[in-house]
Amino acid sequence: MVCGLAAAAAVVLAAGAALPAVAADGESSRPAPGASGAGDAYFPFAGNGGYDAVHYDLDLRYQPPAPAPAPLTGQLTAVATVTIVPTRHLTSFDLDLRGLTVESVVVKDRPAEFTRSGDELVITPKTILPRGRAVDVVVTYHGATGRPLDIEGALYGWVTTRDGAMVASEPEGSMTWYPVSDHPTDKATYDVAVTVPEGRVAVGNGDLVGSSTANGWTTWEWSSREPMASYLVTASVGNYELRQWTTPDGLPIIDAIDRDLAPAASAGLAQTAEMIAFFETRFGPYPFSSYGAIVDDDSVGYALETQTRPIYSRSASEGTVAHELAHQWMGNSVSPERWSDIWLNEGWASYAEWLWSEHDGRTTAAENFADVMAIPATSSFWQTVIADPGPLGLFAGAVYDRGAATLYALRQEIGGEAFDALSVEWPTRYKDSVATTDDFQALAEELSGQDLEAFFDAWVWTAGKPALP
């Protein structure tokens, strides 16, 4: 049915007539190529225009590296089926993909032309794709995996490890392992199947659908029904022990703990259920259908809040566990609309660490705030504009600590009642979506009835140490 209609559209076009004018959003109704980026000033080619990706079905086969001294490289063989809904009549469109070899692209069951240009996989289907009509794009690809670096030089993306891979892709590293519209504005659901040598475990986001073994290979199937930003997708592979349990409130948990790690490495996970219950009192109901942790014996140098299943490098400390858990509300359910909004992720998660520490009878939030405010005004710390830190400043200390201090100060400014309402309403109103710093200010103003222009100006939009409220 879909094919027939598309063919009809192509015939109309060939006859020189325009497709029906259906664009109501100001976009031209004339068929055109989709844009090569989502319009993010920090990563102009991340994400794409002209369509929404609504679902990814990833079928990966991964051969990890041989033991040392063999090179630290693996082999990935994959088929990615991306369901897209054009937002205009499309003559061609892009997916983001860095490296790897594309063997074929099939759109609506017909082979499509494709070219590679920088990190763009440019796809030209046989016929124009009409606006609003979902189509499957099937990309078959393979390649040697390595240890990709982000613009700051940190490991990210599909990071090959001796026993598998640590997959942590913030901000735009998912393109290192699958063809993707790699920007938080284009959230989608996922089914991910990873086939690995028997004995290895592949851990994804969301629910474990099952695993099956044949001919020395085990396929692990994971499913995420809640929309997810691409940087939060993982499919990590290692010598993990899977621990499946349920919180007293009935939330299914799957932890994947590297068997090569000492028990102390995962001791920080012990209070996971208490932490979830505590953050629910602050931020509202836990936003997803499952949770858990991946603790790998290798290191990318940081932890990442991969959706429903954060990944930790070598050990999961209690503070970091609280931080990555808080991200499930603050960053994952409500995500940054632009990468410049990153302080809304890291400020909230760091502030949540303060809340947990105080709740647990250690350093209070007031003490943590005082520590930040004790940093001299002359320190370079205060020179980061946290609502626009630049692509090289995404993970600057100030984004975390000044971000947390900003939220603490905002509580002083608008009062506990309005701030507590804001803490729940923010991840509720923008659930499964994205929002900006301006959206956050507007919500704080709505809930407090105060004009907060001067406050936000001083705390997030201006370099220099702000005065205490």
62 burial (CB, 10 Å; 0-12 / 13-18 / 19+) is buried
Distance CA 317, CA 297 (A): 14
Residue 150 interacting with ligand ARG (CB under 6 A): yes
Binding range to ligand ARG, per CB under 6 A, among 63-71, 91-99, 302-310, 446-454: 302-310
Encoded tokens for 365: 């939030």
Q: Which one, 381 or 395, has the nearer CB to ligand ARG?
A: 395
**Rounded CA separation 62/43 (Å):** 29
**Residue 95 interacting partner from Zn ion, ligand ARG, none (CB closer than 5 to 8 Å by kind):** none
Q: Any residues with CB less than 8 A from the CB of 117 and at least 6 apart, and which? A: none
CB nearer ligand ARG, residue 395 or residue 461: 395
Q: Is 141 in the site for ligand ARG (CB under 6 A)?
A: no
Among 79, 167, 349, 435, binds Zn ion (CB under 5 A): 349
Residue closer to ligand ARG (CB basis): 304 or 418: 304
Our measurement of the distance from residue 320's CA atom to the centroid of its chain's CA atoms, rounded to an integer in Å, reads 17
With respect to ligand ARG, which residue has the nearer C-beta, 114 or 231? 231
Which residue from 42, 62, 156, 382 is in contact with ligand ARG, where contact means CB under 6 A? Answer: 156
According to CB under 6 A, which one of 186, 258, 298, 324 is a site residue for ligand ARG? 324
143 or 347: CB nearest Zn ion: 347
- H or E element that contains 428: helix 416-429
User: Is position 395 an interface residue for ligand ARG (rule: CB under 6 A)?
Assistant: yes
CA atoms within 13 A on the CB side of 355: 26
Please say whether the beta carbons of 127 and 139 come within 8 A. Answer: no
Q: Which does 302 bind (CB under 5 to 8 A by kind): Zn ion, ligand ARG, none?
A: ligand ARG
Q: How far is the CB of 306 from Zn ion (least distance, A)?
A: 11
> Which lies closer to Zn ion via its Cβ, residue 9 or residue 233?
233
Q: Which is nearer to ligand ARG, 217 or 302 (CB)?
A: 302
Q: How many CA atoms lie within 13 A of 124 on its CB side?
A: 6
Alpha-carbon span 96 to 120, nearest angstrom: 5
Distance (Å, whole) CA 324 – CA 349? 7
Q: 341 contacts which partner out of ligand ARG, Zn ion, none, CB within 5 to 8 A by kind?
A: none
Establish how many alpha carbons lie within 13 A of residue 206's alpha carbon, considering only the half-sphere containing its beta carbon. 20
Binding footprint of ligand ARG, residue count (CB under 6 A)? 12
- Asked if 168 touches Zn ion (CB under 5 A), the answer is no
Distance in angstroms (rounded) separating the CA atoms of residues 267 and 354: 19
**434 binds Zn ion per the rule CB under 5 A:** no
> Which residues form the interface with Zn ion (CB under 5 A)?
346, 349
